[in-house]
Homo-oligomer: A and B are copies of this chain.
């Protein structure tokens, strides 16, 4: 077991006010565009967009109007995720109009709650006698979890208890339905989510039973005889989905084994990382060593064997799932946005358990690449699938790639990702720092101000950061009174140890442990710490077992992974080779959306000119030298439809 004093907890959103040239723009985009747009979408008021019906379902369940339930069985969760995002937004940026919209929606939700506390519009409106008969498929506890997360966020943001009380009544009711006791259902949900939500509810209310219920769901999962199989037998071996036949596929739900015995990430990737997040939450609160070990095993498996360089996870769209170690195809990939968000949740929990820079590196990787890459610069179009290689014509005409879109679509029938991006970005402050009794850990370099209590001393810390474009970061501290405490700084993997720390102008190294520099000293008001991180351009290779990337390199600079688009480099993008010594350079290009550093270098471009209609020939290759240009991955697909690749061939550079 780890040393307990290494543990830390996230600095709450209310205590972190971000103000960052790179990130504030995204957070503002979410606040000013995405949240209002999604509000309208949930109310079916966006012309030309398939109606969500999510709010309408609540209105019907609340008896405010007549009608039929429409949408996915988990449509309620879209409302809950929007509410959670709106609550975070209110926490960091008060807005009376938004607050009123939120209050009205909460009133509606409260009206839709049943007398016994139950709250789910699908079952209330459509199948009132079928509650809890199909946990495998029907997302009842998943929707409950999102409602609880929204309630906690709203309570913390506004101090208002109405939604929290709704959530507690619902959770209390769930606690009477599920559990080890005789007469209760000995089961759990097909889509993990309630587990991490109940931990949040416990944190907000200090009500032990919520923690115990989360623990119950985690412990019960994967036990034999298997709940999903029993439930399936009881339903006459039917599934909610007409296209699904046969018994539930347990690995899809990560319920093929008790969670402590799981060593390899399998199945639906969002379900997986939501569950691992809850496991880490519980391990932190109970000190359960076997659960912690399982979290470490699963983390290692994902990060060292199943993660794309962009922080995407889930190699196949079949079941939106993991496949096997090192199977990371770039063009048939799934890499759902929600899965990378869940990976960020998991990473933050692992950081709280133990400050290792790898956790923050992965959190940052997913955030700067897949998550912001999923959102168009207009805030209203989103990728669900985040490919590393795209040939638009093949996406249209090869059914194995139909799930890959070459440009960001608008609102989807299954609208899980956009509100998930919104709630992550509005709560981004919660991912920057953790703290414990005497240490403030800085995990992400995002400007802003925070205040924490260290040994009873209130310490204000102001961070400025020039990331991702340059590696200069400063911290100015303002403790209530001068005292000894520690500022622990993450040294990102991408700077490869090339980090210079100066305190009040004087270079220091501090104690380096697990990728963090621990600067312990008596900090006085006005003390400054400057951190200079090297932003070398890295030419990255994948492990030789990653068949898809053999002979190829990806470019990374700081936290940003780069990609090559045919609008800059010609089509097909596969015809491009990076020269043996590409002499890569970086420059700021103000013409890209928001402005961005691009990377240029020498390469070759194979030409088709000399081909006369043959498909195959024995003649040598012909290529012309070319200056190649890469842009940050998060910006791909913003200049019309074109080919894109993260990994490109490099001229043999064998040692």
Contacts and interface: CB of A to CB of B under 8 A. Distances in A.
Interface of A: 243, 300, 303-305, 307, 309, 315-319, 323-324, 327, 329, 332, 391, 393-394, 397-400, 496, 538-547, 550-551, 554, 556, 572, 574-575, 577, 580, 604, 606-608, 611, 613-623, 649, 651-655
Contact of A400 (B307, B316, B615): B316
A324 B544 contact: no
A624 B556 CA distance: 27
A615 B243 CA distance: 37
22 contacts: A300-B613, A304-B614, A309-B616, A318-B400, A323-B394, A323-B397, A332-B332, A391-B547, A400-B400, A540-B616, A541-B619, A542-B616, A543-B611, A543-B615, A544-B574, A545-B572, A551-B551, A551-B577, A554-B616, A577-B654, A604-B652, A620-B655
B542 A399 contact: no
How many copies altogether?
A: 2
A655 B623 contact: yes
B324 A397 contact: yes
Contacts of A543: 608, 611, 614-616
A618 B655 contact: no
A541 B607 CA distance: 13
A307 B329 CA distance: 23
A574 B547 contact: yes
Contacts of A551: 551, 577, 649
A303 B614 CA distance: 8
Contacts of A303: 615
Nearest to A541: B621
Given A327-B398, A651-B652, A618 B539 contact: yes
B304 A542 contact: no
Contact residues of A: prevailing secondary structure: loop
Given A575-B550, A653-B621, A615 B323 contact: no
Contacts of A305: 615
A624 to B, nearest CB: 9
A580 B653 CA distance: 12
A143 B364 CA distance: 60
A550 B574 contact: yes
Given A542-B616, A550-B575, A622-B654, 13 more contacts: A315-B398, A316-B400, A318-B399, A319-B399, A323-B394, A332-B332, A332-B400, A540-B616, A543-B615, A544-B574, A551-B577, A556-B618, A623-B655
A619 B316 CA distance: 29
Contacts of A574: 544, 547, 550
Contacts of A540: 616-618
Contacts of A243: 243
Contacts of A607: 544
Given A398-B316, A399-B318, A652 B655 contact: no
A551 to B, nearest CB: 5
Contacts of A309: 616
A620 B538 CA distance: 11
A272 B574 CA distance: 30
A394 B391 CA distance: 22
A534 to B, nearest CB: 12
A323 B332 CA distance: 15
A580 B607 CA distance: 20
Contacts of A652: 577, 580, 604, 651-652
A574 B323 CA distance: 19
Contacts of A654: 577, 604, 606, 620-623, 651
A551 B574 CA distance: 9
Contacts of A391: 327, 547
A441 to B, nearest CB: 24
Nearest to A605: B544
A248 to B, nearest CB: 17
Contact of A393 (B324, B332, B604, B617): B324
Contact of A324 (B398, B572, B613): B398
